[in-house]
Amino acid sequence: ISVDSAAGLAVKAADRAHVFHSWSAQALIDPLAVAGAEGSYFWDYEGNRFLDFSSQLVNTNIGHQHPKVVAAIQEQAAKLCTFAPAFAVDVRSEAARLIAERTPGDLDKIFFTNGGAEANENAIRMARLHTGRQKVMSTYRSYHGATANAIALTGDPRRWANETGVSGIVHFWGPYAYRSSFHAENEAQECERALAHLEATIAFEGPQTVAAIILETVVGTAGILVPPAGYLAGVREICDRHGIVFILDEVMAGFGRTGEWFAADHWDVVPDLLTFAKGVNSGYVPLGGVAISGAIAETFAQRPFPGGLTYSGHPLACASAVATVNAMAEEGIVENAKRLGEDVIGPGLRELAERHPVIGEVRGLGVFWALELVKDRATREALTPYNAAGAAAAPMGELAAACKQRGLWPFVNMNRLHVVPPCNSSEAEVKEGLAILDEVLTLADAHTV
């Protein structure tokens, strides 16, 4: 890694002058100027290297600069950079085939988008037209994207400033045994009561008004909440009984993250629509999509689907998806994620929990884990209050800064530290990251009672 402080300063200066950043007060941010990346690492212009334990935004499932994917993009660029969605294009056909072969059940048709929010937006459009109903239900602990319907469905504070003008969205509580909304004492109770709560909410909304229920198969940003056994099957049954479209958002959980191609595979549940993005090509070129069941595809067999995007099925994006899916299959990357979760990350984090009282709960699977941090294990009082800012959020800010000082790039949300490295991380890389967490958690332990 070379040091070039002047170049870094120039990149930073132009950024601060002209780049308007997501989710930020523009004058209060200080983005790191990144000079390069490879595999599980990236580095800045000052010679600092970081182990990427966040996979950027939990999307670089095959790490940075995978040579097979880079080559596929280069070859496609030389051959055909772009072509309108109305045409049949070889890489678009092949990407759709490879994805449809892996999605569960009869989700055999793929509508391509540029990312996750647009995938959810179009899934909702399909569900509303398919059912002739308006309402869509989602959970309070969720993130579905930043476009109009997707942010209105989202169950975190980012929704609050974005609700104007969107109607027909109903929120309910999903299962979360550690902080049960249902006073449940175990997972089985949590599952049963969460399903009863959903059923009651539907009854009071009017089942005939509900077009769809959308869930993250495993809730990502809002906490890595793994559903209890039976919950997704229960939601499937409720949807079937009321003619409601069941949408699983696998934007973050899909493509190997949980140690299966899709998280739904863990519970053998087949939704009517499954949305994806991120891991489909590790974000090398923007891509997302909706995998569509036979019945919903049939709705639009004779009647036009009233939605589209100039870049739906963009050839460069599709070429990178083909190369990514093939590389993941050839290199056993999904199996690697599963093994890392079972043999390295899960046991490693549980061992940390034995030494660090600040860890209230360890949960996850594959390369999709959270440490929920608390002030007090007995009361489960969160280390920082919900949606804390400023001084109240300081303990998590300090923790993130301490990780970065030691060369680890963390994923932090509220009072949680998520451990979400690439699916093809090596055991040594994961252990390097866990050793750094062990050090920094000692600092956080100081905030416990």
| Binding positions for ligand PLP, rule: CB under 6 A | 57, 115-117, 120, 143-145, 216, 220-221, 249, 251-252, 277, 288
CB of 380 vs ligand PLP, minimal distance in Å: 25
CB of 207 vs ligand PLP, minimal distance in Å: 26
CB of 159 vs ligand PLP, minimal distance in Å: 13
Nearest to 280 by CA among 138, 111, 436, 162: 111
Distance CA 291, CA 2 (A): 44
Query: Considering beta carbons, is residue 278 or 375 the nearer one to ligand PLP?
Result: 278
Contact call for residues 323 and 69 (beta carbons, < 8 A): yes
CB of 59 vs ligand PLP, minimal distance in Å: 8
Which positions ≥6 away from 213 have C-beta within 8 Å? 136, 137, 138, 198, 235, 238, 239, 244, 245, 246, 247
CB of 214 vs ligand PLP, minimal distance in Å: 9
Query: Considering beta carbons, is residue 50 or 276 the nearer one to ligand PLP?
Result: 276
CB of 280 vs ligand PLP, minimal distance in Å: 10
CB of 365 vs ligand PLP, minimal distance in Å: 16
Strands 368-376 and 416-419 come out as: antiparallel
Distance CA 443, CA 396 (A): 11
DSSP reduced 3-state for 42: strand
CB of 190 vs ligand PLP, minimal distance in Å: 21
Query: Considering beta carbons, is residue 23 or 204 the nearer one to ligand PLP?
Result: 23
Query: Considering beta carbons, is residue 207 or 308 the nearer one to ligand PLP?
Result: 308
CB atoms within 10 A of CB 25: 7
Chain residue whose CB lies nearest ligand PLP: 116
CB of 13 vs ligand PLP, minimal distance in Å: 27
CB atoms within 10 A of CB 21: 11
Q: How far is CA 11 from the centre of its chain?
A: 29
Query: Considering beta carbons, is residue 116 or 234 the nearer one to ligand PLP?
Result: 116
Contact call for residues 246 and 126 (beta carbons, < 8 A): no
CB of 362 vs ligand PLP, minimal distance in Å: 21
Contact call for residues 127 and 299 (beta carbons, < 8 A): no
Query: Considering beta carbons, is residue 98 or 222 the nearer one to ligand PLP?
Result: 222
Query: Considering beta carbons, is residue 281 or 447 the nearer one to ligand PLP?
Result: 281
Query: Considering beta carbons, is residue 36 or 286 the nearer one to ligand PLP?
Result: 286
> Can you read off the two tokens belonging to residue 154?
């989202």
Query: Considering beta carbons, is residue 208 or 387 the nearer one to ligand PLP?
Result: 387
Contact call for residues 136 and 211 (beta carbons, < 8 A): yes
CB atoms within 10 A of CB 167: 8
Query: Considering beta carbons, is residue 143 or 176 the nearer one to ligand PLP?
Result: 143
Per DSSP, the residues of 267-313 read TT---SEEEE-GGGTTTSS--EEEEE-HHHHHHTTSS------TTTT
Which positions ≥6 away from 445 have C-beta within 8 Å? 356, 357, 358
> Can you read off the two tokens belonging to residue 255?
């493509």
> What residue spans of 22-145 are helical by DSSP H?
55-58, 67-79, 90-102, 116-131
